[in-house]
Homo-oligomer: A and B are copies of this chain.
Amino acid sequence: MKGVLCLRTNARLIDVAHDFPRQDVRVTAFWLREVLPYFPPAVHLVVVDPGVGTDRAALVVRAGDHALVGPDNGVLLPAARALAAERTDESAGRSDEGDADENVEVFTWEVDDPASHTFHGRDVFAPAAAAVHDAGVANAGTLDRATPTTGHTDLAFPEPEISGRDDGAESEATGEVLAVDGFGNVITNLPGTVLDDRFSEDVTVNGEPTPAERTYAAVGPGERVLTVGSHGSVECAVNQGRGNEVFGLSVGDRVRLVW
C-alpha cells in the first residue's frame, strides 16, 4: 500500500496504527473516532475489511476538512462524525457528535475489476486515497469515480444507562466495554463525568469494590482502579498491570458501577 501511494502521490505518509485487531470493524471504528480528530486535515486510509472481494462498496467520506477512504462496513462513520464536529484543539476526541452529520458527505467509489479479490487495500483503497489527496478533500465529490450515497452501512456504539436518585443515595451506571488498549486498560462507553466529584466514594464494578482515582499510580502496583482515561470515558485499570485480566473483561462485556 505504501508503494502504491508513493508511486501515485507525493503526499506525506504517517503510520497511525498497524495493530488494530484483525477483522474487527467495531473496535477499529472506536479507535479511529478517538485518534483521528487529533490530526490536521488529511486523507485517512483505513483497511479493516473482512468483506474484501465481495460486492460491498468502497467509500470515500468527506468529514469537514478531512477525508476517509475504506470499505463500506461502518468502520469510517464514527470517526467521520467526530472529524466533522466543530472542535477546538482541546476538545479533540471528545466532541459530542451533535450537528456533525450535515458536515459529512459519503460517496461510493467506482471500482474497476481489481488486480485481486483479496487485497483491496493495495488495489482499490490506496489508489482512491491518492486520487482524493491530489484532487483535494473539498473536491472529492467531483471525481469521476465518486457518486453520492446515503445507502452506506453505519455503525453506532451503544449508549450507557445511568441512573441516580435525587436523595443522593445509591446510584448506578451500566455500560459496555468498547476496547482494551495495549496496556490492558478496559475502555468503557461510560462517560468520565459519572466520576465527577465522586472520587472519594465507595463504588463497585460488577460487584467488586474498586477505588475511583484520577491516576493509575494512585493505587499500589498490581491494584485495581477505576479512572477516567484519555478518551474521556471510564476505564477499569490496574496500576502497572493488565486491567482486562484482573477485571476479567473483554470487548462487548457489560460493566455495572454501583455507588
Contacts and interface: CB of A to CB of B under 8 A. Distances in A.
Contact of A38 (B4, B54, B117, B185): B4
Nearest to A94: B115
Interface in A31-45: 35-40
Contacts of A246: none
Interface in A94-141: 115-119, 122-123
B117 A228 contact: yes
A198 interface: no
A23 interface: yes
22 contacts: A2-B39, A3-B35, A4-B38, A6-B40, A7-B38, A13-B14, A15-B15, A22-B182, A22-B183, A38-B122, A51-B217, A52-B216, A52-B217, A53-B215, A53-B216, A53-B217, A54-B217, A116-B230, A116-B232, A117-B228, A118-B185, A118-B229
- Sorted nearest first, the 4 A-B pairs with minimum C-beta distance are A53-B215, A119-B230, A3-B38, A3-B39
A164 interface: no
A200 B39 CA distance: 47
A204 to B, nearest CB: 22
B13 A6 contact: no
A158 interface: no
A147 to B, nearest CB: 23
A7 B40 contact: yes
A78 to B, nearest CB: 17
* Interface residues of chain A: helix, strand, loop or mixed (majority): loop
Given A7-B89, A22-B182, A23-B240, A118 B52 contact: no
A252 interface: no
A254 interface: no
A149 B218 CA distance: 25
A116 B239 CA distance: 16
A2 B14 contact: yes
Nearest to A115: B90
